[in-house]
Amino acid sequence: MRILVVTISFLAFLSFCDANAQISIEQPPSGTLSQEQLAVIAEDIQKVLENPLAEDADEGRQLLWDWITGSPDVTVTVCHTVIGGVAQSETEHKDLYIILSVLSGAAYLIHNPDADLLDEQVGGLKGMLIAYEQVKITLGEDAKDSTMEALTRIKDSGELRSAVQSVMGGCQRES
């Protein structure tokens, strides 16, 4: 899998993987996983989204990230015009949210391999917002962020797809 990233500065914030992590992904020699194996990976991504501050979440994210960046099975496109607002937000968790958006986009593509770029971006943001809600539950009101709250309101109003479409600009999948 290849990831097209307009800005990759957030990669510096990834923690290194612990050898005792609970998520394990092994790529077969052929280089492609079965749909069943991919579905398990998508489930693992969902678990990380639903509990982003769990004790072993850093290791799980790292293993999933390593798989995504090395797998030929799914290609995630990161549109800086879509995720850029999060990168500029005030939250101390913005790097986590950006990474989770990419992971969520991968899970979306696993379940919807023929999805267009717009749907992929929306799927990534929806997963990121699931994680944001969990962070707020875990840490309380101090975890609130105006950018993430605005995205949540847009999603809750049913306008996330059109909002993403309006900022995608020239973002395209790598050919």
- Is the per-residue pLDDT at 174 higher than 70? yes
- Is the per-residue pLDDT at 22 higher than 90? no
Beta strands in the chain (DSSP E): 3-5, 76-78
pTM above 0.85, yes or no: no
Report yes or no: 127 and 100 within 8 Å, Cβ to Cβ.
yes
Chain mean pLDDT for the chain: 83
Cα atoms in the Cβ-side hemisphere of radius 13 Å centred on 53: 13
- Is the per-residue pLDDT at 169 higher than 90? no
Q: Which of 14-23, 66-75, 165-174 has the lowest mean pLDDT?
A: 14-23
**What mean pLDDT do residues 9-32 have?**
39
Check residue 175 and give its pLDDT. Answer: 63
Q: pLDDT digit string (tens) for 64-101?
A: 999 888 888 888 999 999 998 999 998 899 999 999 99
Q: Which of 7-16, 62-71, 90-99, 153-162 has the lowest mean pLDDT?
A: 7-16
Q: Quick one: which of 21, 38, 123, 115 has its CA closest to 72?
A: 38
Q: pLDDT digit string (tens) for 118-139?
A: 999 999 999 999 999 999 999 9
Q: Quick one: which of 15, 16, 14, 19 has its CA closest to 3?
A: 14
Report yes or no: 151 and 97 within 8 Å, Cβ to Cβ.
no
Percent of the chain with pLDDT strictly greater than 90: 62
